[in-house]
Amino acid sequence: MTRTAAGQDRQDDSRPGVGSDPADEPAVAEREVEEAFKRSIDEGRRRLSRRSWPLLATGLLGGIDVGTGVLALLIVEHETGNVLLAGLAFSLGFIALSLAKSELFTEDFLVPVSTVIARQGRFRMLIRLWLGTLVGNLLAGWAFTFLIVQGYPQLSETALEAGGHYVELGLGWRAFALAVLGGTAITLMTWMQHNTESAGVKLIPAVTTGSLLAGAQLNHAIVNSLLIFSALHTGRAPFGYADWAATAGLAAIGNIVGGVVLVTLLRLFQVPHTVKQERAHPALGVPIGDSRRVGGEGRVEGQ
């Protein structure tokens, strides 16, 4: 506060006023959100730039890591008959994802999407990342659940019940709503983990989200696929791979809606000026209108 000649107190003009623009007044900016957004962009550029084999390998490892969670889920549910306890056991898979640096298809609804929106990567690179990670997750998950059923035949009944639940949901609004919730939960987990650099703190959303996802039986494209694969591997499932494809396809669409629309886009609206700044300086190779940025030595990207 400062005092005028008349002896009246007034607010210090050096402090930002009400309604100040965060782009001009850093003091009113959502700095934690901005830092998380920038970390997401940098991480997204790394993911989008992966070569084909590293991309596929990361997806395969993600399928294996979640497969360990499925194994834990089936064992605990078989022994206790309690879905909530089984969901807590499943969080082992998400802990593995966080510490082992593998990836799920649905984890890529925040980080690389932010990178593309910020014009630091191409949309076709995002589609390539999604497809590569999805294929890797499913291939490894199919193989890993085959080993589970072969190694633990006593889990067959539990696998039939767990996998059959998602097929029985059908293709209606309930299945879609659960898929939107599943996509929201996994993307929120990713956002929370990018708000900290502490490995210990990152485990908290891994455990809570993994428990919620499996314990509440949310419709997640990869998790439900692995559970359905487990049931199919028993040879006694009353459904087939066509049912799996339809179930997983609807789940993937709902996951994208929940993850991209309800989490990623709304989070970006928190820091519009930062998004604008990033978009004003796109990465090399990202189109600007009808032109392209020029790379080193005067070379036009893509030529």
Name the token pair of 27.
């003091």
Question: In the structure, what pLDDT confidence band is assigned to residue 11 with cuts at 50, 70 and 90?
Answer: low
Is residue 302 included in any domain, yes or no? no
Q: With beta carbons less than 8 A apart as the criterion, state whether 62 and 100 touch.
A: no
Determine the pLDDT at residue 303.
36
Question: In the structure, what pLDDT confidence band is assigned to residue 8 with cuts at 50, 70 and 90?
Answer: low
- Answer yes or no: is pLDDT of 233 > 90: yes
pLDDT above 70 as % of the chain: 84
Report the alpha-carbon distance of residue 11 to residue 26 in Å, rounded: 19
CATH number for position 251: 1.20.1080.10
Is residue 297 included in any domain, yes or no? no
**Residue type, position 163, single letter:** G
Q: With beta carbons less than 8 A apart as the criterion, state whether 93 and 169 touch.
A: no
The pLDDT mean for the chain works out to 86
Better-scored residue on pLDDT, 63 or 290:
63
- pLDDT tens string 132-145: 999 999 999 999 99
Question: In the structure, what pLDDT confidence band is assigned to residue 173 with cuts at 50, 70 and 90?
Answer: very high
Nearest to 249 by CA among 175, 160, 153: 175
Better-scored residue on pLDDT, 160 or 291:
160
Q: With beta carbons less than 8 A apart as the criterion, state whether 150 and 234 touch.
A: no
CB atoms within 10 A of CB 145: 26
Is residue 180 included in any domain, yes or no? yes
Backbone phi, then psi, for 230, in 5-degree steps? -60, -45
Q: How many domains does the chain have?
A: 1
Question: In the structure, what pLDDT confidence band is assigned to residue 202 with cuts at 50, 70 and 90?
Answer: confident
Question: In the structure, what pLDDT confidence band is assigned to residue 24 with cuts at 50, 70 and 90?
Answer: low
- Answer yes or no: is pLDDT of 297 > 80: no
Is residue 131 included in any domain, yes or no? yes
Determine the pLDDT at residue 289.
53
Is residue 17 included in any domain, yes or no? no
Is residue 75 included in any domain, yes or no? yes
Question: In the structure, what pLDDT confidence band is assigned to residue 22 with cuts at 50, 70 and 90?
Answer: low
Is residue 21 included in any domain, yes or no? no
**Residue type, position 107, single letter:** E
pLDDT above 90 as % of the chain: 59
Question: In the structure, what pLDDT confidence band is assigned to residue 12 with cuts at 50, 70 and 90?
Answer: low
Instruction: Give the domain extent around 243.
Output: 30-283
Determine the pLDDT at residue 177.
98
Is residue 184 included in any domain, yes or no? yes
Question: In the structure, what pLDDT confidence band is assigned to residue 196 with cuts at 50, 70 and 90?
Answer: confident
